[in-house]
Amino acid sequence: MKIATAAYPLDVLTSWAQYEDKISHWVAEAAGQGADLLVFPEYAAMELATLAGPEVAGDLEASLFAVSDRLPEADALHVKLARAHGVHIVAASAPAATDTRPVNRARLITPTGQIGVQDKQIMTRFEGEVWDVIPGNNLQVFDTALGKIGILICYDSEFPLLGRALTDCDIICVPSVTEALAGYWRVRIGAMARALENQCITVMSSVVGEADWSEALGTSFGAGGIFAPPDTGFPPTGVIAEGALNAPGWTCAEVDLARVAHVRRDGVVLNRSHWSGQSGRDGAAIPVRLR
């Protein structure tokens, strides 16, 4: 298959038609390059808040709910585009209102119109302490026509046990938004580590550029990246493809899941199966006092 992952800039939108044209163009461009799976970034849907006007877009609390109100329309648009182009789309994550507080929600949309929902598991400090965004549903393994796909939203990719919960996945998508170069590298290192230990493909997408109209986002640094275990049939760096830092656009690469199956079965190392306790060392570390 071919995977396309976005380095996506946010715009101030003056109409729904402008947003529809923008997303339609992005999807058509990736599909035109032969992509089967398209991955948009974390919180890239925050640009929908600008449709409610600058005061709402610039107010953190109001913007969260303004975006949530638009999600049904956004999902309907993505369903239409996925069907028209015959692609799977990880739509940009967004705050989604619940009975208590919003969650950070990504959606995997198939060409047949099905929608899989994945909420972020662990909040960053600004999400939890300032935004009051809360964790949502459990991690999901989506069994699709392309293979088994999971989603670890940004910070979630930095936690090995969350990655381990997706050990059945052939592909783990990592939508991200990071406000500094260090944040980009934390998520990228996490994505590459999950590819190593699960012996799978990971796909990182990023918001890029300025959104000075938003109290939530501001400036974002990032790039698209597609990573693999550095093993037989894959690049020795583990990097299948990487975009230029802060350059908007798609990063695309062909991915052969038969190679994933091979390294899991007979790689130079067997990280995925060796984690399961064959060595008898899955327990907690033993405290040893040396004084």
Rg, the chain, Cα only: 19
Question: CA angle, 206 as apex, 150 and 126 as ends, to 5°?
Answer: 90
Phi/psi-derived region of residue 233, left when phi > 0, alpha when psi is between -120 and 50, beta in every other case: left
- How many Å from the N-terminal Cα to the C-terminal Cα in the chain? 57
Q: What is the pLDDT of residues 256-285, one digit of tens each?
A: 999 999 999 999 999 999 987 654 555 667
Domains in the chain, CATH or no CATH each: 2-274 (3.60.110.10)
Measure the CA–CA gap between 206 and 54, rounded to whole angstroms. 24
Are the beta carbons of 206 and 41 closer than 8 angstroms?
yes
Q: 66 is written with which tokens? A: 């303004």
Quick one: which of 238, 230, 171 has its CA closest to 201?
171
Give me the pLDDT at residue 222, please: 97
Please state whether beta strands 2-9 and 249-254 pair in parallel, antiparallel, or not at all (unpaired): antiparallel
Average pLDDT, the chain: 95
What pTM was computed for the model? Answer: 0.95
- Cβ pair 259, 235 in contact under 8 A: no
What letters, b where the CB count within 10 A reaches 16 and e where it falls short, cover 196-228? bbbbbbbbbbbbbbebebbbbbeebbbbbbbbb
Report, as ranges of residue numbers, the positions in the chain whose pLDDT lies below 70: 277-284
Phi, psi (deg, nearest 5) at residue 117: -110, 130
